Structure 1
Amino acid sequence: MTREFFRAIGRWKEIAGESAGKTFLIYGGDEEYEREGHSILSWRNAGGIAGACRRQSRMLGDDPQERELLDFIEAATDTESWK
């Protein structure tokens, strides 16, 4: 994987700040490792990510920065074109 591959995830972490929590990238290979602060997971073991997501979600439940970010995403979402 090239450095460019991690640019969007890195940008997300900059915007979200502490509320971004741990970032994961699932790919089609077999190895698992850390790179540039992200956990790279094999698709074969991606099922374990659900537990990590639940834990992060619980930790952020009352975080004001998380609420602000979710409000922004909701306001920017174009659901009208889905119909």
Structure 2
Amino acid sequence: MREALTEADAVLDKAGWISDSDPDYNAICDAGIIEADGHDYIFSLMTGMPDGESNRLLFEELAATIFDAREALNLQQ
């Protein structure tokens, strides 16, 4: 998440992953608090993708896409 959210002022996160030959035991996850544009956001992303370089890149793209959509989800505007 930290690498994906380059426009954020600060990212306080805890990433985790599980990589196993059994597809039931695979995950790339990250959760944290993001400070951006004068606002704080709680962000959590959990997947069932096995850990690996190509899946980490997909995870970063997904995190960036979701975070970029935050303005459309802000009901206070």
Higher relative helix content = 1
Regarding TM over 0.5, the answer is no
| Higher-RCO chain (CA-CA 8 Å, sequence separation at least 6) | 2
Between structure 1 and structure 2, the one with the greater Rg is 1
TM-score (norm 2): 0.33
- The structure with the largest strand share of the pair is 2
Question: What TM-score do you get using the length of structure 1 for normalisation?
Answer: 0.32
